Amino acid sequence: MISLAGRDILHSWSKFVFTGVGLGLLIGVTFTMAGVYRGMVDDAKVLLNNSGADLWVVQKDTLGPYAEPSSVHDDVYRTILGMPGVARAANVTYLTMQVRQGETDVRAMVVGFVPGEPGEPRYLIAGRRVTRSHYEAVVDVSAGFAVGDQIRIRRHDYTVVGVTRRMVSSGGDPMVFIPLKDAQEAQFLKDNDAIVNERARTADNPALNRPGVPGLLDAIEASQTSGHTVNAVLVRVASGHAPDRVAADLRRWKHVEAFTRVEMEDILIAKLIATAAKQIGMFLVILTIVSAAIVAFIIYTMTLGKIREIAVLKLIGTHNSTIAGMILQQALWLGVIGFAVGKIAATLWGPAFPRYVLLEPRDAVIGFVIVMLVCVLASTLAIRAALRVDPAAAIGG
């Protein structure tokens, strides 16, 4: 027995392939959407991995430092270092702000870190690590800066000395790493006009500006412009100790909250990404339905074009199942072509997206199964139409 489906495809192969390519692009979009979601989850995991921390110590009763603002005194890390089970503890600050280079502005998350401690990027793709204690920066490649560029953060210029990859905030903004003190100043020090205004207000306050106490006003103004807080303390747990135990010990202090890696993942993925995940989930469902409808329409149209031949086939004695099988096979082959084109297209255009698109092999397998199922379902409409054809219609014209 020859393959009727195969012969039909061979006969009108260009139409088939074009249709397959069109369907494939739609499937590629679907894969890309799933990849965007996976990319967001991966962004969150990478953010946590690349910080090199086992515990995040933040302000009590907050979900910070990524999901909520958190403020911790910058000397808390010293006492944390003294606790059992703590190998390293370091301050970090996070602030999302505009970073200028020349005329252009980039939205970035500025991270204040201590070199050699948790919080520093774990690997570079170009340049070197920061060696000076001020005014040097390591940036993520998605910011668009290169080694040697001068960028401006608040009131200082920084030289980009190193470039890293996959260091983005949970919102997809590239990260810019600068020394902790510079970051503290950027976060907590206001602009010149505000400072001058503040000074004038303090000078007008008779309680603070006492003529009998020279030097008091200067001391107060100095204390106003210094910030001694950070957003979190990153802790690496010593080997042999359980992060949960160390976190529990830290929480017992009553002044701080401590999250383990698992808890941070949960916060980031469940709380921050939840809405985006739902949106993408809805998109995937809609795209799948649309793909199914398109496959159904195409197969149905192709079948309708063969109604005469189907009547003749039935008349001359072809099994219903043979005819149904022909239609089903065509639908499945269409699905295979669509899947291949879609997977290749998604891989090729994935890197062009502003957000990270992660295509996992597991998703490809699931996608293939779904595409096949959709094709089977979509072909039922055409099969029903074909089975209802009356062979007598071939006679009598």
Partner 1 sequence: MTSVDGIQIEGLSKRYGEGPTAVDALKDVNMSVAPGEVVGLIGPSGSGKTTLLKCLGAVIEPTRGRMTLGGQVIYDGGWKIADLRVLRRDRIGFIFQAPYLIPFLDATDNVALLPMLAGQSNAVARARARELLEALDMAHRASALPAELSGGEQQRVSIARALANRPPVILADEPTAPLDSERGLAVMRILHQLASQYATAIVVVTHDEKIIPTFKRTYHIRDGRTVEEALR
Partner 2 sequence: MTWRFRVPRQVWVVVVALGLLLALGWVATQSGPLAPIPVTVAQVVRADVAPTLFGIGTVEARRAYVIGPTAAGRVRRVLADVGDSVAAGQLLAEMEPVDLDTRVAATTAAADRGRSAVAAADAQVQDVRSRHTWAATEARRAEALGAAGAASQSSVDAARQAEQSAQAQLAAAEASLTAARRDLSRLQADTGGAQQQRGNLRLVAPVDGVVTARDAEPGSTVVAGQAVLKLEDPGSLWISVRLDQARSAGLQAGLPARITRRADPLAPLAGTVVRVEPISDAVTEERIAKVAFDRAPTDVSSGEMAEVTLTLPVIRNAVVVPNASLRHRGSEQGVWRYVDGQLGFVPVITGVEGAEGTVQILDGLQVGDQVVVYSERDLGDRSRVTVVPALRGAVP
Q: Which residues in this chain contact partner 1 in the complex, by CB under 8 A?
A: 1-2, 4, 7-8, 10-12, 308-309, 312-319, 322, 390-392, 394-397
255-291 burial, b if ≥16 CB within 10 A, otherwise e?
ebbbbbbebbbebbbeebbeebeeebeebbeebbeeb
Q: Which residue has 């086939």 as its token pair?
A: 313
Q: CB of residue 334 vs partner 1: minimum separation in angstroms?
A: 16
Which 131-160 residues touch partner 2, going by CB under 8 A? 131-135, 141, 146-147
Kindly tell me which of 284 and 358 has the beta carbon lying closer to partner 2. 358
Please measure the distance between the N-terminal and C-terminal CA atoms of the chain and give it in whole angstroms: 29
Q: Which of 82, 84, 102, 361 binds partner 2 (CB under 8 A)?
A: 361
Is residue 231 near partner 2 by the rule CB under 8 A? Answer: no
Nearest to 147, CA basis, from 167, 124, 168: 124
Is residue 369 near partner 2 by the rule CB under 8 A? Answer: no
What is the DSSP code string of 252-295?
Answer: TTSSEEEEEHHHHHHIIIIIISHHHHHHHHHHHHHHHHHHHHHH
Q: Which of 340, 381, 387, 394 binds partner 2 (CB under 8 A)?
A: 340
Q: Which of 64, 65, 119, 162 binds partner 2 (CB under 8 A)?
A: 162
Q: CB of residue 282 vs partner 1: minimum separation in angstroms?
A: 41
Kindly tell me which of 44 and 328 has the beta carbon lying closer to partner 1. 328
Name the binder of 15 from partner 2, partner 1, none, CB < 5-8 A by kind.
Answer: none
Kindly tell me which of 36 and 359 has the beta carbon lying closer to partner 2. 359
Q: Which residue has 């500025």 as its token pair?
A: 110
Is residue 22 near partner 2 by the rule CB under 8 A? Answer: no
- Confirm if 110 and 178 have CB atoms less than 8 A apart: yes
Is residue 161 near partner 2 by the rule CB under 8 A? Answer: yes
Q: CB of residue 212 vs partner 2: minimum separation in angstroms?
A: 5
State the Cα–Cα distance between residues 333 and 336, nearest whole angstrom.
5
**Nearest 5°: CA angle at 9, between 6 and 12?**
150
| Residues with Cβ within 8 Å of residue 300, at least 6 apart in sequence | 381, 382, 385
Kindly tell me which of 13 and 297 has the beta carbon lying closer to partner 2. 13
State the Cα–Cα distance between residues 333 and 315, nearest whole angstrom.
27
Q: Which of 238, 242, 307, 377 binds partner 2 (CB under 8 A)?
A: 238
Kindly tell me which of 110 and 235 has the beta carbon lying closer to partner 2. 235
- Confirm if 374 and 46 have CB atoms less than 8 A apart: no
Kindly tell me which of 283 and 368 has the beta carbon lying closer to partner 2. 368
Kindly tell me which of 164 and 231 has the beta carbon lying closer to partner 2. 164
Is residue 208 near partner 2 by the rule CB under 8 A? Answer: no
Contact residues: partner 2, CB under 8 A: 10, 13, 17, 49-50, 52, 75, 87-88, 114-116, 122-129, 131-135, 141, 146-147, 161-163, 165-166, 181, 211-212, 214, 228, 236, 238-239, 337, 340-341, 343-344, 347, 358-361, 364
